[in-house]
Copies of this chain bind each other. A is one copy, B any other.
Amino acid sequence: MLDYEIFNAGDVVLQSGLTYRNARLAYKTYGTLDAAKSNIILYPTSYGAQHYDLEWAIAPGKALDPTRYFIVIVNKFGNGLSSSPSNTPPPFDRARWPQFTMTDNVRVQQRLLHDVFGIERIKLVYGFSMGAQQAFHWGALFPDRVERIAAICGSAKTSPHNFVFLEGVKSALTADPAWQDGWFATSPMRGFQAMGRVYAGWGLSQAFYREEEWRKLGFSSLEDFLVGSWEANFRRRDANDLLAMLWTWQHADISANELYHGDLAKALGAISADALVMPCETDLYFTVEDNRREVALMPHAELRPIPSIWGHRAGNPAQNPTDAKFLDEAVGELLAR
């Protein structure tokens, strides 16, 4: 029996012009929706993640407190639970996946909240990494529906360097002989290994490795960490699903739609939500500087970098109590405003 729900979104006309039929959005809720429908926290997913990977942050006494809030983790398209290359019948299966933008994702999420729960306003959109990018999209696409956003280690638009980093990840996976233009002959084991090793250098900081912080995660050597954490992380997933999510990430841009026509400054200026933007000081691809420039164009945003050597992973610190406390206190403060 599934531990989550499915929203049948029907036929979704994508930004590309293609229609994805019988779209399914997987989600899980925590806590109880109050009578006024005023206690909603939306928690979209990060790259490669499913709600299982994120729900550690939800607990009584924490900022994401299910005794106070109705929290919805929504799995993004491509993550293997919502409609994805790996679970779609022809003609949009596997290599033929039609690509969902982040705007496509967020618009279906809005329908889920409206159609299933009658929700018109969200107290907080909380997201890490690609989840943070979805939070920015919510703020720009639905300014009247979002009271607060907490964007952790993510940006409103994917920066050019971030795009290049992802080109490397993608190229490593697709260099595998099994790739065959996406019609994988077998599971690309060598590609998963390469992808994991490429990602490992980016996902944490130089100082993380210098200080051997991986020991705190229970690994016995650097090689043990590379295999046990990074290779393992990607081998859990379908290769085309990973490529689908990567495409969505590379093309994330809150202004790439008919509301803003590519005018990023205008889109940022339209985010009326009270926004807490929290890059990590040592994140190598979602940098503080990119967020600083975005925050400067947002009317109600605060930049509050996470002081950590855990790089990008500081934003989803299931196993790092210090960073988890920093985030939890900041988000608690945001919710109390």
Contacts and interface: CB of A to CB of B under 8 A. Distances in A.
Contacts of A206: 159, 161-162, 284-285, 287, 289-290
A165 interface: yes
A181 to B, nearest CB: 12
Interface stretch (A53-61, A69-77, A128-136, A168-176): A168-176
Given A164-B226, A168-B201, A201-B168, A194 B209 contact: no
B289 A164 contact: no
Interface string A190-202: 1101100111111
A47 interface: no
Given A168-B201, A201-B202, A209 B160 contact: yes
Nearest to A192: B175
Contact of A194 (B161, B172, B177, B208): B172
Interface residues of A, number: 42
Given A172-B171, A226-B167, A160 B210 contact: yes
B222 A164 contact: yes
Contacts of A173: 175
A163 B222 contact: yes
A322 B217 CA distance: 44
Residue in A159, A194, A222, A226 with the greatest tally of chain B CB atoms within 10 Å? A194
13 contacts: A159-B206, A161-B201, A161-B209, A167-B201, A168-B198, A170-B197, A171-B194, A171-B197, A175-B176, A175-B191, A194-B194, A198-B198, A284-B284
